[in-house]
Structure 1
Amino acid sequence: MTSTPAPTVFGNVSLGYVVVETEKFSDWRRFGREAIGMHVDDALSDVLRFRLDDHACRFLLQRGPAEDTIALGWQLDDHGSFEKVLARVTAHGVPVTEGTAEDAELRGVERLARFAGPNGLNQEIFTRPRIADTPLRAAVRGGFVTGAAGIGHVAVTTKRPQQMRGYYASVFDARLSDHIDETISGVKVKIRFLRVNERHHSVAIAAVNRLPINPIRTRVQHVNIQVAELDDMTESYQRVKQSGFGMALGIGQHTNDRELSFYAKTPSGFEWEVGWNPLVVDEATWEPATYQGISIWGHTPEGQTVIDKLRQFGAGAASLLRREDVVGALSGTGMPDR
């Protein structure tokens, strides 16, 4: 007797938008429009929105003190997948809040729901994006790569990587693409890359090996977006430097997804990766692997000072005393690390 496979939302989910809380609207406006080259919509009071394509909103900046990413918005391709995710969350006793009409309007979506995510990063799900009324005005000639695989990815750091991986597997049927082992400033770090569709990863989870510390202040270590042409990536790199914004890592190529990219420093402190030409996963042939080091070449740190190092050390030390909520009811148990 053969068993029926459990229903899955894998392939029907993608990263649709990111919500940031900040008081630095002027700096973010320059960063998004002049440095990165995104379309800026600043018509609403206390709200700044960036577009990458015809969707009304891909990045929502709301006024507040966090200077951090506060929510991830996940698009479900159909109402059935939306209901499956809601059922999973509520079945484990995790409260779900229906988004208000104003919440949905700001995000440019229909049918919005919100629930808790690991380390205070709220998860929001929606089914239909609203299409913008005005033409896209972006400083990238070839455009940004979005489509069915979403806007890119986020990378997060954690003291409890297995539970965080279990969360995204339980809620969105995320699959492990591969691992990277890296040594940063003498500290060994393992990074797990999770995909929810053909994009190599929508979430990367980094953790210090065998040490309960998290050296990153913000909930998200970096946000990634992708351009369609190499020249757009290199020109964005030049604009970031010419605009006076900090550069975290220069241009380089990753070992696992082969993406060429650079990492800029956002006004709120987390990093912003602009990438080009990552590989696309073929589900029929893909096998997870482990890579040594994040880069084949490049990605050299730029402009890091001793003060930056000390701040990072202080953040890591402080994290020893900080409780990290991984939403245990949804984090799974016994998740194999492969």
Structure 2
Amino acid sequence: MRTRPDIFGAARLGYLVVESRRLTDWNRFGADAIGLHVDELTRDVLRFRLDDRQCRFLIQHGRAEDVTATGWEIDDHDTFDEVLRRVTAAGLPVTEGGGEQAALRGVERLWRFPGPKGVATEIFTRAHTTTAPLRMRNTAFVTGASGMGHVAITTTRPERLHTYWNNLLDLRLSDRITERIGPAKLKIRFLRSGQRHHSVALANVAGLRIDPIRTSVQHVNIEVAGLDDLLAAFHRVTDLGFAMAWSIGQHTNDRELSFYCVTPSGFELEIGWNPVLVTPELEATWEPSHYEGISIWGHTVVGDQVATLMSRFQGVVRSLRDREETVPALSSLPRGARR
């Protein structure tokens, strides 16, 4: 019987694909508010850079107003083939991204298959870099071996999504948080792929299979290298009239200082600074903890408008009506098992 290798640490979040009709707003949001490097490839395609990679965000014209794919960088061809073996063994359809698709993402080898909540999972082995100078308002972003940041997803089936990421990339549980929102309890689990505290966060309403979020991804996180950059971005977002979702605060589990603003497509972007790293020394003895409350201080709600509340109500109605896509081939748990 073939022993399945543990590929923890050999994959990281490399890029995100977003579909939107609001490219002009995205250009202004990315360049002027957040302070990213923006390349306008065509009238229908934008790319954002954080570092020497050609692409970290690919914004394409379309109707979704959502993240439509996550791109995961795999360290080597053997691990790449192992991930593909897991996907094909589960019977999932796998397609190779064509030359143009790979070029837009700034990668060499690209394959795509279904992911939770309709967001495609893409894997690649090598990203193309560029020596073109960065035109950014920020000094630098933290990427490298930890990847570009993390994605947070609200779900009605947290165990299934947890299993999907475990079966696919051997992500490990960092910790859990319980956050009380009025009479409801929000349960959040944080999964890491390497030294970054988490690359995927999964949130669900305890005891209720409802999802109040319209978008497939609730928020995306990127990390600035300096506190001054965090504060400057916060003021630019506010001064330029983009919506702020949560004010500056500090998280209980990874100790990251951050704020959350609303992207032109409606999901949130978290700008963070100085989170805990799970170094090899910490990894050797790491045990998941449980925290009551998501923040030590701050992260207060900012300007929750009627339109936002209506959107969340519509999301709850939709989640009660529609079945959430969990990719059962990779996310099924043994009978009676729970995470």
Using structure 1 for the length normalisation, give the TM-score: 0.96
The match for 2:247 is 250
Q: Secondary structure at the match of 2:229?
A: helix
Say whether 1:230 aligns with 2:259.
Answer: no
Shift of 1:311: 2.7
Shift of 1:336: 4.0
**Structure 2: which 5+ runs fail to align?**
none
Q: Deviations over 1:265-288 (max 9, x none)?
A: 100000000000000012112110
The match for 2:186 is 189
What is the aligned length? 334
Using structure 2 for the length normalisation, give the TM-score: 0.96
Shift of 1:55: 0.2
Residue identity in the other structure for 2:94? V
Which among 38, 41, 46 is matched to residue 40 of structure 1?
38
Say whether 1:214 aligns with 2:228.
Answer: no
Q: Deviations over 1:196-250 (max 9, x none)?
A: 1111000000001111111000010000000110110011000000111000000
Separation in 2, partners of 1:5, 1:197: 22
The match for 2:289 is 289
Separation in 1, partners of 2:77, 2:165: 19
Separation in 1, partners of 2:328, 2:265: 29
The match for 2:301 is 301
The match for 1:89 is 87
Identity %: 57
Q: Deviations over 1:70-112 (max 9, x none)?
A: 0000000111111000000000100100000000000000110
Which among 201, 218, 242 is matched to residue 204 of structure 1?
201
Q: Deviations over 1:283-312 (max 9, x none)?
A: 112110110011000000001134422331
Q: Does structure 1 retain, via aligned residues, the 8 Å contact 2:214–2:311?
A: no
Separation in 1, partners of 2:296, 2:107: 39
Q: Secondary structure at the match of 1:42?
A: strand
Q: Secondary structure at the match of 2:255?
A: coil
Shift of 1:5: 6.5
The match for 1:6 is 4
Q: Does structure 2 retain, via aligned residues, the 8 Å contact 1:170–1:332?
A: no
Q: Does structure 1 retain, via aligned residues, the 8 Å contact 2:176–2:190?
A: yes
Q: CA RMSD in A?
A: 1.3
The match for 2:165 is 168
Separation in 2, partners of 1:50, 1:68: 16
Q: Does structure 1 retain, via aligned residues, the 8 Å contact 2:151–2:220?
A: yes
Say whether 1:109 aligns with 2:110.
Answer: no
Shift of 1:183: 1.4
Q: Does structure 2 retain, via aligned residues, the 8 Å contact 1:21–1:70?
A: yes
Shift of 1:42: 0.3
Which 4+ residue blocks in structure 1 deviate beyond 2 angstroms?
A: 3-6, 305-311, 334-337
Shift of 1:43: 2.8
Residue identity in the other structure for 2:8? F
Separation in 2, partners of 1:136, 1:32: 13
Residue identity in the other structure for 2:319? S
Q: Secondary structure at the match of 1:320?
A: helix
Residues 305 and 168 of structure 1, relative CA distance in 2, 3 Å threshold: same
Shift of 1:8: 1.7
Separation in 1, partners of 2:9, 2:158: 23
Shift of 1:325: 1.3
Shift of 1:317: 2.1
The match for 2:260 is 263
